[in-house]
């Protein structure tokens, strides 16, 4: 039986990849169940695979949920991987969690012989640390709540809160500088106080110099 070796990458993080081997007779649901754990994501949300061309344009859809079935759309649990392999370097686009809009690119890179002692599907190679599943969603949600004036810890989804409860949010240098500037703006006279202290320090230093100079003369 043919074993397909696929490379999975994030649309926005090309340096992060997972190589996954799966039997040609296995389904897209099996694929769904191995891709997400390999990048540290849970499987609690809906998703869809789309056959794709060399430009990552979406074609035929294979969806997770029966309620999302429409004419021409297939179901993951009943659709075998082999049924949508049309070229040696077949590509798929995998969209997961409509709210977070995660997008992954999948490309068939090799056919390998089956190992009778191996359980498929399996992730055989992992490069790079995948982004946090809920962090991006939480930041977007908080920004929207702040803009609308409705920010409240109580309405943050429990799963999201749990996912980031032990993690500090990381900001780049520009964001950190901006945060400090915002803090100064929130404290009236904060920046002025610093200037006054520096000015007083200069005056005291100048007086000491004059005094020392007088004694020398």
The last residue of a domain, from among 85, 109, 127: 127
pTM over cut 0.95: no
Q: Using the 8-state DSSP alphabet, how is residue 67 labeled?
A: G
Specify whether 78 is located in the same domain as 122: yes
Helices (H), the chain: 28-38, 135-148, 158-164, 173-186, 190-216
The runs of H, that is alpha helices, within 40-153 are 135-148
172, 178, 180, 186: CA torsion to nearest 10 = -150
**pLDDT category of residue 106 using cuts at 50, 70 and 90:** very high
Q: State pLDDT tens for residues 35-46.
A: 999 999 999 999
31 and 119, same structural domain? yes
Residue with tokens 């540290």: 40
Are 123 and 207 contained in the same domain? no
Quote the pLDDT of residue 134. Answer: 86
Q: Which pLDDT band, with edges at 50, 70 and 90, does 167 fall under?
A: very low
CB 161 within 8 A of CB 191: no
């Amino acid at each position: 039986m043919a074993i397909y070796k696929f490379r999975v990458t994030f649309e926005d993080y090309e340096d992060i990849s997972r190589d996954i081997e799966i039997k040609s007779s296995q389904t897209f649901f099996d694929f769904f169940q191995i891709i997400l754990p390999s990048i540290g994501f849970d499987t609690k949300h809906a998703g869809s695979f789309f056959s794709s061309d060399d430009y990552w344009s979406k074609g035929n859809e294979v969806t997770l949920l029966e309620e999302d079935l429409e004419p021409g759309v297939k179901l993951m649990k009943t659709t075998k991987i082999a049924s949508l392999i049309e070229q040696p370097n077949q590509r798929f686009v995998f969209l997961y969690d409509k709210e977070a809009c995660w997008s992954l690119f999948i490309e068939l890179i090799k056919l390998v012989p089956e190992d009778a002692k191996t359980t498929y599907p399996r992730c055989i190679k992992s490069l790079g640390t995948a982004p946090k599943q809920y962090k991006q969603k939480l930041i977007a949600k908080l920004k929207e709540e702040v803009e609308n004036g409705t920010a409240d810890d109580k309405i943050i989804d429990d799963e999201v809160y749990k996912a980031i409860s032990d993690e500090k949010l990381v900001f780049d240098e520009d964001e950190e500088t901006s945060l400090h500037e915002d803090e100064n703006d929130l404290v009236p006279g904060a920046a002025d106080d610093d200037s006054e202290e520096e000015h007083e320090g200069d005056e005291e230093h100048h007086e000491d110099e004059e005094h020392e100079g007088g004694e020398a003369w």
